[in-house]
């Protein structure tokens, strides 16, 4: 197996909070092991246009707390073509880049898979607010986005209860209802409409009318963008129930903000893991975290705190610091 001397790192697709923490982790883990790192700007666009520069440990100081991505990002149409991919390969060879860490979502990983077919070692780090990537319970940025949505829903609840109205709140997520369902559960919403689960607006309106007769006066209905436009949902509800309905489309504020603790930790762990996997000769893979699920523990075991569990995280801290 050829030892890796130089790796490239890029962020691609929609930005998400925690991407910077992932970049920091990749750069610091790689340099800790004596590997040179090229930061590639604007995702695959930067690969095609040869927009890249060497990053040192210092280059990623003071970015762990920032939303967005210091590497910028793009959705490259040219990279989807063979011609674009050849240009990218030429630039990778020019800088003697042996391997790539691609931080992004499913579209970005399709691109990385194409590069793998051309002999470039790639590992994906999942980062998108949508949390719609298979092979990981969580993507970097989805927790922060959820906090943003929940904060908005809590605020909307103040006016909903004061004016006794129906509010339809549209959240992002492409074809995935992750944000909508979690925000609905955590925010105590009355209804959630999402692409993954069939719904009938006649039933939704019937439920509202029945509950109104019993004295219920306010509703928050969360709509995942993949399930339809909040505007249309509100129009149907007010037409079929006669109740005053308002709409809030949260839009791109869901992508911004200070990354949450969960996203920073996830990004730090997955960035480091991606580099380790490349060093071990792995490629054409995505690193992820798989642990979600409720389980039971014997009560007698719950008395004994597991003091060893933080050893791995402490080791990582020593690699990423300064
Ligand atoms: O994939 C992230 C995401 O924010 C989706 O939730 C949304 O549908 C899309 O990107 C919006 O993309 P753009 O920023 O290009 O409008």
Q: DSSP readout, 3-50?
A: PP-EEEEEE-SS--TTHHHHHHHHHHHHHHTT-EEEEETTTHHHHHHT
Model confidence pLDDT, tens digit, residues 146-156: 999 999 999 99
Cα distances from 17 to residues 6, 74, 232, in angstroms, run 26, 15, 30
Q: Give distance in angstroms: CA of 292 to centre of ligand 1.
A: 25
Is residue 305 pLDDT above 90, yes or no? Answer: no
The confidence score (pLDDT) of residue 310 equals 82
* Residue range 6-141+259-302, CATH number: 3.40.50.450
Break the chain into its structural domains and give their ranges. Answer: 6-141+259-302, 143-255
Sheet holding 99-104: strands in order across?
52-55, 36-40, 6-11, 99-104, 121-126, 285-286
Instruction: Evaluate: CB of 129 within 6 angstroms of ligand 1.
Output: yes
pLDDT band of 311, cuts 50, 70, 90: confident
Per-residue pLDDT averaged across 99-116, rounded? 97
Model confidence pLDDT, tens digit, residues 185-232: 999 999 999 998 999 999 999 999 999 999 999 999 999 999 999 999
CATH top class, domain 143-255: alpha beta
**Fold match, 6-141+259-302 / 143-255:** yes
Measuring from atom 10 of ligand 1, which residue has the nearest CA? 14
* 130 carries an active-site annotation: yes
**Quick count: other Cβ atoms within 10 Å of Cβ 63?**
17
Between 67 and 305, where is the model more confident?
67
Per-residue pLDDT averaged across 151-164, rounded? 96
CA atoms of 266 and 270, how far apart (whole Å) = 6
């Amino acid at each position: 197996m050829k030892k890796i001397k130089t790796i490239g790192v890029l962020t691609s697709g929609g930005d998400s909070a925690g991407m910077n923490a992932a970049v920091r982790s990749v750069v610091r883990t790689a340099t800790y092991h004596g590997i040179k790192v090229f930061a590639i700007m604007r995702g695959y666009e930067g690969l095609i246009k040869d927009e890249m520069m060497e990053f040192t440990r210092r280059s990623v100081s003071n970015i762990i707390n920032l939303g967005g991505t210091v590497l910028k990002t793009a959705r490259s149409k040219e990279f989807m073509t063979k011609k674009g991919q050849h240009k990218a390969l030429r630039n990778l060879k020019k800088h003697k880049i042996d391997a790539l860490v691609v931080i992004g979502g499913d579209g970005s990983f399709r691109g990385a898979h194409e590069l793998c077919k051309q002999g470039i070692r790639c590992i994906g780090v999942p980062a998108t607010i949508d949390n719609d990537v298979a092979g990981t319970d969580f993507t970097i940025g989805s927790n922060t986005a959820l906090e943003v949505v929940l904060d908005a829903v809590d605020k909307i609840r103040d006016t909903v209860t004061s004016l006794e109205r129906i509010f339809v709140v549209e959240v992002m997520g492409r074809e995935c209802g992750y944000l909508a369902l979690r925000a609905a559960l955590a925010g105590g919403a009355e209804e959630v409409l999402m692409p993954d689960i069939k719904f009938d607006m006649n039933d939704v309106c019937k439920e509202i009318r029945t509950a109104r007769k019993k004295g219920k006066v306010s509703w928050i209905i969360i709509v995942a963008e993949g399930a339809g436009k909040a505007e249309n949902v509100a129009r149907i509800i007010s037409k079929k129930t006669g109740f005053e309905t308002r709409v809030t489309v949260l839009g791109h504020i869901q992508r911004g903000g200070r990354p949450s603790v969960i996203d920073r930790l996830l990004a730090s762990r997955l960035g480091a893991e991606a580099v380790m996997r490349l060093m071990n000769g792995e490629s054409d893979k995505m690193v992820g975290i798989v642990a979600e699920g409720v389980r039971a523990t014997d009560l007698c075991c719950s008395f004994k705190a597991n003091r060893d569990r933080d050893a791995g995280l402490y080791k990582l801290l020593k690699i990423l610091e300064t």
